[in-house]
Structure 1
Amino acid sequence: MSAPVLMALIWLIAANVAALFPSRDHHWRFAYGMIAVGIPLLGWVTWQQGPIVGLLFLAAGTSVLRWPVIYLTRWLRGTKGPKSS
């Protein structure tokens, strides 16, 4: 197993374990740190192993950090959710 894949698996395990513990800010500070580490790591995995493996780790990371992705998608669309009238 190559170093980038091993580091990405450790990243996934760390993100899942951290999600098990309670947090006052709903894990947002941790999510920012994981994103800051995960983006270069994803680039490293993709560069060393190819785009298919990179896409697999992108999907795994997105499933772990789904709320930042959901909020980013809503922000890009300009919607905040269903409006109650």
Structure 2
Amino acid sequence: METSDCVEFEMPLQMQGKLAGDPQFDGMTRRYRISRAAIEKSLGEATINVSTQALYDEYFFDVWMTIEDEAWRKRPVDGIVHLGPDDIKG
């Protein structure tokens, strides 16, 4: 089974301050890319013979809950916010 070293997903764009309720931002999303190493750190174990996408699909909520708050506010690089092991709590 071939495994990739990252997964991409989109999350709703959350505006802060005076832009927070502005309807022009409704439905906007930001693209994130999370590394396999970050996913495994969030789960607390290495998983062999499972694709990164399958691992993320199964445990996405558990992964989201371990991402540092500051990481959600990182600036995108080439349109994507990159998340790695340093962005995981603990």
Q: Which structure's relative contact order is higher, taking Cα pairs within 8 Å and 6+ residues apart?
A: 2
More helix by share: 1
- After TM superposition, the score normalised by the length of structure 1 is 0.28
